[in-house]
C-alpha cells in the first residue's frame, strides 16, 4: 500500500493553492531543489567534464528509463529518456513505418495531442512516399482498423476529455490486421498502471513533466518492444545512439539496444530533477494509485454535478473509461477557469469550452476535492466568471 | 574592453584544477547555482503552471537566442534555443535541402563532428530521394564546390585539430554555385567573434554547453537567415513551432518567424543555467576575447614545443587559421592525457592520437598556461604516461 498522506507531505504546494493541473505540469517535490543543486554544484561544479562518467550522467537516460519502465509495465532495458515528447513520437513513428514498408495508412484520432499529429504530418511529408494520416473520431478508431493499416498511433488518454482507449484491445486488433502500434502515454504514465508488456505494445512514448513531477521541460521517454529493437533503424541517428559514440567513426552503426533511440547530449539538470521525483514514484503502488485516483474523480464529479448544473460532464462517466482527469464543458469556460484560478483552484482550459481538472493522489486528497468543489460552485452560483477581467484571453497554457 | 581577471572570478574552479576542456564542457559560473535554484523554487515551486507566462518560460528560447545572436553576428529575432545540436543540425539540413530541390549533393568534410554526419545520413535515408553525402578532406572542401552542390554543411572549427574554415569565402563560393550553407558553430560560438550576417550565412547551429558555459545537457540553438525563414518548412513540425500552439488545431501552420524552428517544450532548468552564463557573456567584447585567446594558444604552443619534442602540433600554426583549442599528436596520447588529468591539468583525448586542450580567456590566464606546460613537460620528460594505470581505456568522454 502507498501512504498518500506521506507522499503529499513530499510536495511543495504554494500557500492556499489547490492544484488540479498536475496533468499539465506536476508540482515541485520538496527533495528536488537539493538534488538539482547537487547536480549543479557537486557534479558539474566539482567534476566538470569527468561528470559524464563519475557522476553517472552518461548512464542516466537508461537508468532513469528503467525506473519509469516499472510504472508502465516495460521490460527492463527497454525505456530511454531524452529530448521532448514530439521528438520521441517522431522517432517511434518513423521506426514503426519502416517495419511495414508496403502499407501507407497511419491511423490516429482527433483526440490525439496536436503535436503528435503535426510531427506525423512532417514525417510523412519528408518521406514523400504517399503515406496518409487518417484522423477519425476517437470512438471510430476500432472501425478503421483494417488490412491497409500500417501504424495505429494514439494517445491513450484524450487530453481534452480524459477518455481512455483500450490499449490491449486496440493493439490486438491492429496487430491482427498486420499493423504496428505507437502509444503516447503523456496522460497515462504516472496517472494509472500501464502494462505495455501485457498489452503487447510495439512502441510507446511519454513525458515526465506531467504526472511524473520532473519539472518544466523535463525529458521525454521512448519504449521499443524487445522484438523490434534490432530492426529499428533510427531516423534521428545522433551520436549517442551510436554503438560506440566515442570512437568518432564517420559511419553510423546503431547501438545494440534501446540506446539507439538516444540522439544528442542528455539534459543533465533536468535528469537530476527527474531522479528526485522518481524517488517518490519508486515507492508508489500503481494499483493503489489508480484506486485513489478513481475515488477522487468520482467525488469531484458527484460534487460538481450536485452543485453546478451549468456544467456538463464531457469525461466518461465510467471511471474505468477515463484517465485521472475530469473535464466539464461550459460556454464561458475560459472566464470561469480564470475565476477559479484567481481563487487558488488551479485547473486549465482547452478550447473551445473545456474546463479541465487533474487529480493526482500523490498530493491531492479528499479535502482538496471538497474545497475545490466549493470554489467552483461559488464561481458558478454567483456568476463570478461574468467579469471582463476574466474574459480577456491572455496567452493560454 | 573586457576585464578577464574579473570574468575569471565569476567561475567556480575545483581546487588546484587547470581546466583546459572548456571546449568540451564549460565550467560552472558562480551565479548559476542561485539562478537555477530560483527556477526550481521560486518559479516552478511557486508559480507551477503559470510559470509558462509569469516566469517567462515560454519566451526564453527566443529571448536567450537574441543574446547568443550578438555573439555570432545574427540579426535580432533569428536565433532560437532548444533540443540538442544533433536535432538542430537535422532541422537546418532538412530545410536547406528543401530550398534546392533539384540538386542532390551534400558536401561535408571528415573533420565534421560525427553526429552531424550521422544525422545527415539518417535524413538522406528517410528522404529516399537519392541525395549523396560527399565527405572530403577539410582542405579539399573548396575544390568540391560546383554546380551540382545542394548544401555545404560544415563545422566551422574542426573538433580534432582546431582548424578554422573560412566561413565567408566558402559561403560566397557555395552561394555563387547556387548552393545553401549550414554552419555548425559548436567550437566557434563563444570561442571567437562570428559574423553570420557579414558572411551571408544561410543556416547555423551550435551548442551552449562548451564555450558558453551553460552546463551539461544545455540546449542547442539554430539560426535561419531572414531571407529564408518564410520558405523554411520545418521537418520536425512540433507544436511549439506552430503559429498558434494553444489553439490546438489539427493542422500544422508554421510560426511566422524563427519560432517555427521550435519543436517541443523547452528545458526550463537548463535555460535558467544558460541565462546565468549569458549574464557573463553579455559583458564580453568578442574581439578582445579573440585577442586573449590567441595570446593564450600562442603561449601554450611555444611552451610545449620548447619543452616537449615528443609532441607534434596538429593544429594550424597560424592563429588566424584555428579556433580556441590546440591539439598535439602523440602515439601514447591517451595515457599521457590521463597522466595530465591525474595531475589536475584537464584536457581530453580524441582518437587515434590527439591530445586536445581548450583555452577560454574567461577563466584561463597566462599563469594557468605556464602551469599546464610545466605539468605536461613533467609527464613527457619523466615518461609518467608509461604506467599501466593510465593505459586502461575507460569510457572516454
Average pLDDT across chain A, whole number: 97
Q: How far apart are CA A69 and CA A92, in angstroms?
A: 16
Q: Is the pLDDT of residue A176 over 60?
A: yes
**Residues on chain B touching A153 (C-beta within 8 angstroms):** none
Identity of the residue in B121, B238, B265 whose CB atom sits nearest the CB atom of A237: B121
Is B356 considered catalytic here? yes
List of chain A residues whose C-beta atoms are within 8 Å of the C-beta of residue B350:
248
Q: Kindly report the CA angle at A381 between A376 and A386, in degrees rounded to 5?
A: 85
> Coil, strand, or helix at residue A289?
helix
Residues of chain A with C-beta less than 8 angstroms from the C-beta of B19: 48
Q: Is A59 on the interface with B (CB under 8 A)?
A: no
Q: Do A83 and B51 touch (CB under 8 A)?
A: no
Would the annotation count A86 as a binding residue? Answer: yes
The pLDDT score that the predictor gives to residue B183 is: 98
3-state secondary structure (DSSP) of residue A272: helix
Alpha-carbon gap, residue B213 to B211, rounded angstroms: 5
Report the gap between the CA of B265 and the closest CA in chain A (Å): 5
- Measure the CA–CA gap between B206 and A201, rounded to whole angstroms: 37
pLDDT at res. A1? 75
Residues 6+ apart with CB under 8 A from A174: A145, A149, A152, A180, A181
Looking at the complex, does the CB of residue B54 fall below 8 Å from at least one CB of chain A?
no
Say whether residue B28 is in contact with chain A using an 8 A CB cutoff: yes
Instruction: Identify the active-site residue in B11, B19, B113, B223.
Output: B113
Flag if B239 and A115 touch (Cβ within 8 Å).
yes
A210 is catalytic: yes
B158 is catalytic: no
pLDDT in tens, A76-93: 999 999 999 999 999 999
> For residue B351, what pLDDT is reported?
87
Contact A269, B270 (CB under 8 A): yes
Has the ipTM of the complex gone over 0.95? yes
Helix B114-127 and helix A114-127, axial crossing angle in degrees, nearest 10: 80
**3-state DSSP assignment of residue A42:** helix
Q: What share of chain B is helix, strand, coil (3-state, %, to 5)?
A: 45, 15, 40
Assign A397 a pLDDT band (cuts: 50, 70, 90).
very low
Per-residue pLDDT of chain B (397 residues; tens, 9 = 90+): 799 999 999 999 999 999 999 999 999 999 999 999 999 999 999 999 999 999 999 999 999 999 999 999 999 999 999 999 999 999 999 999 999 999 999 999 999 999 999 999 999 999 999 999 999 999 999 999 999 999 999 999 999 999 999 999 999 999 999 999 999 999 999 999 999 999 999 999 999 999 999 999 999 999 999 999 999 999 999 999 999 998 889 999 999 999 999 999 999 999 999 999 999 999 999 999 999 999 999 999 999 999 999 999 999 999 999 999 999 999 999 999 999 999 999 999 998 999 999 999 999 999 999 999 999 999 999 999 999 999 887 644 4
Using CB atoms, pick whichever of B12, B115, B128 lies closest to residue A239: B115
CB pairs A-B closer than 8 Å: 288
> What helix, strand, coil percent values describe chain A, rounded to 5?
45, 15, 40
Interface test with A, best of B21, B23, B60, B84 (most A CBs within 10 A): B84
Which of A95, A116, A265, A348 is most worth mutating to test chain B (most B CB atoms within 10 A of its CB)? A265
Chain A interface mutation, best of B26, B186, B217, B396, highest count of A Cβ atoms under 10 Å:
B217
The chain B residue lying nearest A44, using CA atoms, is B28
Using a pLDDT cut of 90, give the percent of chain A over it.
96
Report pLDDT for A391: 87
Examine the residue annotation and report whether B246 is marked as an active-site residue of this protein. Answer: no
Cβ-nearest to A236 among B37, B90, B247: B90
Closest Cα of chain B to A60: distance in Å?
12
Which H/E stretch holds residue B64? Answer: helix B60-72
B87 vs A236: CB contact, 8 Å cut-off?
yes
- Over residues A60-78, the pLDDT tens digits come to 999 999 999 999 999 999 9
In a mutational test of the A interface, the residue from B10, B17, B49, B255 whose CB has the highest number of chain A CBs within 10 Å is B49
- B95: nearest CA partner in chain A: A126
Dihedral over Cα of B210, B214, B219, B224: its sign: negative
Torsion of CA A298, A299, A300, A304, to 10 degrees: 110
B50 with B59: CB under 8 angstroms? no
pLDDT at A396: 47
Contacts of A19 in chain B (CB under 8 A): 48
List domains and CATH numbers for chain A.
Answer: 4-30+285-382 (3.90.1150.10), 32-281 (3.40.640.10)
Active site residue A260: no
Residues of B with CB below 8 A from A57's CB? 216-217
The phi and psi torsions of B152 (rounded to 5 degrees) equal -100, 115
Dihedral sign (CA A24, A27, A33, A35):
negative
CB contact B17 to A (< 8 Å): yes
Does B133 reach chain A within 8 Å, measured CB to CB? no
Q: Please answer whether residues A142 and A174 qualify as being in contact, where contact means their C-beta atoms are separated by less than 8 angstroms.
A: no
Confidence tier at A392 by pLDDT (50, 70, 90): confident
Across chain B, which distance is largest between two alpha carbons, in Å? Answer: 69
Amino acid at each position: 500500500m502507498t501512504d498518500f498522506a506521506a507522499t503529499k507531505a513530499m510536495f511543495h504546494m504554494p500557500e492556499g493553492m489547490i492544484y488540479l493541473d498536475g496533468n499539465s505540469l506536476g508540482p515541485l517535490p520538496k527533495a528536488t531543489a537539493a538534488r538539482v543543486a547537487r547536480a549543479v554544484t557537486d557534479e558539474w561544479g566539482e567534476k566538470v567534464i569527468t561528470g559524464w562518467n563519475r557522476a553517472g550522467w552518461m548512464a542516466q537516460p537508461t537508468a532513469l528509463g528503467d525506473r519509469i519502465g516499472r510504472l508502465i509495465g516495460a521490460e527492463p532495458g527497454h525505456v530511454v529518456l531524452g529530448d521532448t515528447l514530439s521528438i520521441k513520437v517522431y522517432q517511434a513513428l518513423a521506426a514503426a513505418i519502416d517495419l511495414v514498408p508496403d502499407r501507407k495508412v497511419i491511423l490516429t484520432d482527433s483526440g490525439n495531442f496536436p503535436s503528435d499529429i503535426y510531427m506525423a504530418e512532417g514525417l510523412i511529408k519528408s518521406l514523400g512516399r504517399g503515406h496518409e494520416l487518417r484522423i477519425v473520431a476517437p470512438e471510430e478508431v476500432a472501425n478503421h482498423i483494417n488490412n491497409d493499416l500500417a501504424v495505429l498511433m494514439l494517445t491513450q488518454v484524450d487530453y481534452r476529455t480524459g477518455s481512455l482507449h483500450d490499449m490491449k484491445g486496440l493493439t490486438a486488433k491492429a496487430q491482427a490486421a498486420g499493423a504496428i502500434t505507437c502509444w503516447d502515454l503523456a496522460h497515462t504514465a504516472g496517472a494509472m498502471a500501464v502494462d505495455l508488456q501485457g498489452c503487447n505494445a510495439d512502441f510507446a512514448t511519454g513525458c515526465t513533466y506531467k504526472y511524473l513531477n520532473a519539472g518544466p521541460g523535463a525529458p521525454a521517454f521512448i519504449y521499443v518492444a524487445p522484438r523490434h529493437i534490432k530492426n529499428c533503424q533510427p531516423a534521428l541517428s545522433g551520436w549517442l545512439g551510436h554503438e560506440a559514440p566515442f570512437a568518432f567513426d564517420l559511419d553510423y552503426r546503431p547501438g545494440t539496444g534501446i540506446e539507439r533511440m538516444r540522439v544528442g547530449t542528455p539534459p543533465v539538470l533536468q535528469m537530476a530533477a527527474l531522479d528526485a521525483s522518481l524517488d517518490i514514484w519508486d515507492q508508489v503502488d500503481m494499483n493503489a494509485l489508480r484506486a485513489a485516483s478513481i475515488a477522487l474523480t468520482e467525488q469531484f464529479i458527484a460534487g460538481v454535478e450536485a452543485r453546478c448544473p451549468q456544467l456538463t460532464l464531457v469525461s466518461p462517466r465510467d471511471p474505468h473509461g477515463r484517465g485521472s482527469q475530469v473535464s466539464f464543458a461550459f460556454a464561458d469556460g475560459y472566464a470561469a477557469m480564470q475565476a477559479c484560478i484567481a481563487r487558488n483552484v488551479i485547473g486549465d482550459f482547452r478550447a473551445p469550452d473545456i474546463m479541465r481538472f487533474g487529480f493526482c493522489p500523490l498530493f491531492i486528497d479528499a479535502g482538496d476535492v471538497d474545497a475545490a468543489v466549493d470554489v467552483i460552485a461559488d464561481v458558478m452560483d454567483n456568476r463570478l466568471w461574468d467579469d471582463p477581467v476574466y474574459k480577456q484571453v491572455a496567452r493560454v497554457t
